[in-house]
């Protein structure tokens, strides 16, 4: 598929061919769901914890004798039904992360790219640029010419430290590398900006 390439001024400069096997496949909703769910699960800390009846502070002695007092039977004051006792079936630290098959991940990323590429107004390929000053206002001025003030994802070829530094203080901007995409950020981004060199790398990296 042919797409327009824009300059940093927001004007069309040329066209670029994108691989249909990456940007024009049938969207797989299931793989997108699984990829996003996997990323969110892997981010969970899983440190929620409470104390059970064997961990709370308190005597293990029987409060009163078993029979003859007229009160309910009680073994010790750490029982979950007592005030100050342990918690029954409460959360304990656990690991929520799990692995996803590589083929499912690749299909998810290609599906999201194909989904975004369907809207020419929100998916744009931009000529390579950098922000030598590393200043937020310089990058913000470039973005103003290309996208509206909505959640935006920018895909780079390399880990450009100056661009990342400039974009750190811009709200609603996520900066990704072509070989380290994030399904959650990419899917929920309203606008997607792909640098020309990154688009060519995506052709090779995810192409058949």
Give Cα separations from 125 to 11, 164, 191 (angstroms).
11, 18, 11
Work out whether strand 123-126 and strand 191-195 pair parallel, antiparallel, or are unpaired: parallel
- Give the other-Cβ count within 10 Å of 42's Cβ: 13
Which of 126, 119, 131 is CA-nearest to residue 11? Answer: 126
pLDDT greater than 90 at residue 69: yes
- The domains located in the chain, with CATH, are 2-30+100-206 (3.40.1370.10), 45-95 (no CATH)
- Residue 120 has what pLDDT? 86
pLDDT greater than 70 at residue 151: yes
Give the helix ranges, DSSP H, for 44-180: 102-117, 136-146, 161-167
CA distance linking residue 109 with residue 116, whole number of Å: 11
Which of 6-20, 56-70, 102-116 is predicted with the least confidence, judged by mean pLDDT?
6-20
- pLDDT tens-digit map of 113-150: 999 999 888 999 999 999 999 899 999 999 999 988 89
Calculate what percentage of the chain has a pLDDT beyond 70. 100
Using N-to-C axis directions, what is the helix angle for 102-117 and 29-43, rounded to 10°?
110
Mean pLDDT across the chain: 93
Q: What is the average per-residue pLDDT within 94-109?
A: 96
DSSP state of 73: P
Secondary structure of residue 22 in the 3-state scheme: helix
pLDDT greater than 80 at residue 17: yes
- Give the other-Cβ count within 10 Å of 76's Cβ: 14
- Residue 1 has what pLDDT? 85
Give Cα separations from 41 to 36, 50, 131 (angstroms).
9, 21, 34
CA distance linking residue 42 with residue 98, whole number of Å: 7
pLDDT greater than 90 at residue 10: no
- Residue 149 has what pLDDT? 85
Instruction: Please provide residue 29's backbone torsions phi and psi, each rounded to the nearest 5 degrees.
Output: -65, -35
CA distance linking residue 107 with residue 162, whole number of Å: 31
- Do you know the residue count of the chain? 208
- pLDDT tens-digit map of 176-203: 999 999 999 999 999 999 999 999 999 9
- Residue 19 has what pLDDT? 92
pLDDT greater than 90 at residue 13: no
CA distance linking residue 68 with residue 21, whole number of Å: 80
- Residue 56 has what pLDDT? 95
CA distance linking residue 30 with residue 141, whole number of Å: 38
At residue 208 the predicted structure's pLDDT band, cuts being 50, 70 and 90, is low
pLDDT greater than 90 at residue 70: yes
């Amino acid at each position: 598929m042919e797409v327009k390439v824009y300059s940093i001024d927001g004007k069309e400069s040329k066209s670029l061919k994108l691989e249909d096997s990456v940007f024009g496949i049938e969207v797989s909703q299931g793989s997108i769901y699984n990829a996003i769910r996997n990323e969110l699960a892997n981010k969970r800390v899983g440190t929620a914890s409470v104390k059970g009846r064997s961990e709370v502070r308190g005597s293990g002695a029987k409060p009163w004798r078993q029979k003859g007092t007229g009160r309910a039977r009680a073994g010790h004051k750490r029982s979950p039904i007592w005030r100050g006792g342990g918690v029954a079936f409460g959360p304990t630290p656990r690991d929520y992360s799990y692995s996803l098959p590589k083929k499912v991940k690749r299909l998810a990323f290609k599906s999201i790219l194909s989904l975004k590429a369907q809207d020419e107004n929100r998916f744009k390929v931009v000529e390579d640029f950098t922000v030598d000053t590393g200043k937020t206002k310089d990058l913000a001025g470039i973005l103003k010419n290309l996208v509206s003030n909505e959640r935006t994802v920018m895909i780079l070829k390399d880990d450009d430290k100056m661009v990342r530094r400039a974009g750190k203080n811009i709200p609603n901007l996520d900066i990704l590398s072509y070989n380290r995409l994030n399904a959650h950020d990419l899917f929920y981004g309203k606008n997607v900006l792909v640098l020309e060199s990154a688009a060519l790398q995506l052709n090779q990296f995810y192409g058949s």
